[in-house]
C-alpha cells in the first residue's frame, strides 16, 4: 500500500485528521488481545508511511478477524475465504463486521470494510476490536478484555419530591 499516490486538497486534510486521531497508545493492547484470542502469534507488518499500516497488514484479508469472532460464536462466519483475491478478502471483512453486529457490538463501533482493506481508518478497526472485546468479556468473563469493561445499565427512579428538591438546588 506504500505505492499509493499522494493525496491533495480535502483528501489530504482528511487523511491528516485520521492519522492524528490514530490511537497509537491502544495499538499494543489490540495486538496482544488479537494474539490472545486468536491463539497464535501474528506477523505484524513493518510500519509504513501511515500510522496503523503495520497493525492492519495481517488483518487485511479478514481471515484472523473471522476466526476471532467464530471463537466467540461458532459459525458466526460460515465461509472464510483463504484466497488472496481482493473481493474475497473484502467479503471476509464484511462477514466479520456483520457477525460483530449480530454478536452485540453497537453499530457505532463498527468500521467500514475500506477502513481496514484500504487502511483508510485503522483507528476505527481498533475501536471495533475493543468493543468486540467488551461484549465478548461481558458474555464470558474468561475472554480477555482489551480496554474498559462493558458497563451495565443502572436505571434510577426518582420521586417527584426528589426531582423538585434537585431543581431547587440547581437554581
SS3 83: coil
CATH number at residue 73: 1.10.418.10
pLDDT, tens only, 36-81? 999 999 999 877 667 889 999 999 999 999 999 999 999 999 999 9
66 lies in a domain? yes
pLDDT, tens only, 79-99? 999 988 999 999 999 999 999
22 lies in a domain? no
Domain that holds residue 73: 29-144
Q: At residue 2, does pLDDT exceed 60?
A: no
Q: At residue 157, does pLDDT exceed 60?
A: yes
Q: Are 63 and 166 in contact (CB under 8 A)?
A: no
pLDDT, tens only, 10-28? 766 766 776 677 788 899 9
CA separation for the pair 147, 69 (Å, rounded): 17
39 lies in a domain? yes
Cell of 117: 482493506
Q: What pLDDT does residue 142 have?
A: 93
4 lies in a domain? no
68 lies in a domain? yes
5 lies in a domain? no
* Element holding 33 (H helix, E strand): helix 24-38
160 lies in a domain? no
Q: Are 96 and 77 in contact (CB under 8 A)?
A: yes
* Structural domains in the chain (count): 1
pLDDT, tens only, 98-124? 999 999 999 999 999 999 999 989 999
CA separation for the pair 16, 29 (Å, rounded): 23
CA separation for the pair 79, 115 (Å, rounded): 22
Q: What pLDDT does residue 76 have?
A: 95
Q: What pLDDT does residue 162 have?
A: 84
156 lies in a domain? no
Q: What pLDDT does residue 30 have?
A: 95
Write down the residue that cell numbers 427512579 correspond to.
Answer: 157
Full-model pTM = 0.78
Amino acid at each position: 500500500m506504500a505505492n499509493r499516490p499522494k493525496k491533495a486538497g480535502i483528501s489530504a486534510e482528511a487523511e491528516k485528521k485520521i492519522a492524528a486521531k490514530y490511537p497509537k497508545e491502544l495499538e499494543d493492547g489490540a495486538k496482544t488481545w488479537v494474539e490472545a484470542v486468536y491463539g497464535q502469534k501474528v506477523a505484524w507488518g513493518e510500519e509504513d508511511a501511515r500510522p496503523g499500516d503495520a497493525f492492519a497488514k495481517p488483518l487485511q484479508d479478514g481471515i484472523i478477524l473471522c476466526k476471532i469472532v467464530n471463537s466467540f460464536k461458532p459459525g458466526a462466519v460460515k465461509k472464510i475465504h483463504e484466497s488472496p483475491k481482493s473481493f474475497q478478502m473484502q467479503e471476509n471483512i464484511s462477514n466479520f463486521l456483520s457477525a460483530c453486529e449480530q454478536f452485540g457490538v453497537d453499530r457505532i463501533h463498527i468500521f467500514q470494510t475500506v477502513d481496514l482493506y484500504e487502511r483508510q481508518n485503522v483507528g476505527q478497526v481498533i475501536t471495533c476490536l475493543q468493543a468486540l472485546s467488551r461484549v465478548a468479556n461481558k458474555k464470558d468473563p474468561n475472554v480477555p478484555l482489551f480496554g474498559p469493561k462493558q458497563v451495565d445499565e443502572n436505571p434510577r427512579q426518582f420521586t417527584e419530591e426528589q426531582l423538585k428538591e434537585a431543581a431547587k438546588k440547581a437554581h
